[in-house]
Amino acid sequence: MSNITVSGIDSAELKRVLEAGVDHGGNSIEPFADKDGGMPMRCCLADSRAGDNVAIIAWSPFSWHGPYKEVGPIYVHTDPCPSADALDELPEDFDSRAMVLRPYGFNKMIAYHRVRHVPAGESLTAHAKELLAMDDVDFLHGRNVTGGCFSFAASSKTKSSKTK
């Protein structure tokens, strides 16, 4: 059993947003059929397949208000898919991608001295475990290297924070 929990975006909140037809940025959601596949879905942490119904939506992965509560673009399925609400490790589609791991302290601020740029081919799950074992890291976000878009969240199963 893993000592961390990895998750995509909150499936209940995604359902609410899709039903409302408006994303976290106040934009109308415009679904489309993915012609080629390969888009990184933040709902199930898998790549889309050709023909999937998807949308690009504005999303905030934060449940609290404050200066770090940013909103950015992500890809999601607009039809039900297997959620990634609580996994022990990242799925293969995501685990070896180049990514920035952005750790947050218990004060809900970025732990800049712990930010890690992980090159393609290395295990993001292994890096996340290492960062989450540090006393000053509460949780972390995986972020796209070029755009900075939210990809996933990870937290320790043994720490008792309520800041996620």
Closest C-alpha among 33, 97, 103, 100 to residue 68 = 103
- 145 and 101 in a common domain: yes
* Shared-domain flag, residues 49 and 106: no
Beta pairing, strands 32-33 & 53-59: antiparallel
Q: Show which of 55, 77, 99 is a domain's final residue.
A: 77
Mean pLDDT of the chain: 93
Within a domain: 162? no
Domain that holds residue 51: 7-77
For the segment 21-42, the average pLDDT, to the nearest whole number, is 97
- Asked if residue 82 lies in contact with residue 45, where contact means CB atoms within 8 angstroms, the answer is no
Task: Look at residue 2 in the predicted model and tell me its pLDDT.
Answer: 65
Facing residues of 55 across strands? Answer: 76
Question: Interior CA angle at 140 toward 139 and 144, to 5°?
Answer: 165
Sheet holding 4-7, edge to edge: 4-7, 150-156, 139-144, 99-104, 116-118
Same structural domain, 66 and 116: no
* The predicted structure's pLDDT at residue 162: 44
Q: Dihedral through CA 77, CA 10, CA 131, CA 41, nearest 10? A: 0
Q: Please give the share of the chain, as a percent, with pLDDT higher than 70.
A: 95
CA-based R_g, the chain, Å: 15
Counting the structural domains of the chain, the total is 2
Given 77, 100, 129, the domain boundary residue is 77
Let me know: does 103 contact 131? Beta carbons within 8 Å. Answer: yes
Residue 2 domain-assigned? no
Exposure string for 97-118, b = 16+ CB within 10 A, e = fewer: bebbbbbbbeebeebeebeeeb
> pTM value?
0.92
pLDDT of residue 3 exceeding 70, the answer is yes
- Tell me, yes or no, whether 32 lies in a domain: yes
Looking at the structure, tell me whether residues 143 and 113 fall in a common domain: yes
Question: Tell me: the pLDDT tens digits for 74-129?
Answer: 999 999 998 899 999 999 879 999 999 999 999 999 999 999 999 999 999 999 99
Same domain (yes/no): 109, 57: no
Whole-number pLDDT of residue 65: 87
30 lies in some domain: yes
Per-residue pLDDT band at 1 (split at 50, 70, 90): very low
Instruction: Mark whether 97 and 131 lie in a shared domain.
Output: yes
Q: Is residue 163 part of a domain?
A: no
Query: Which of 21, 46, 77 marks a domain boundary?
Result: 77
* 73 within a domain of the structure (yes/no): yes
What is the pLDDT at residue 83? 87
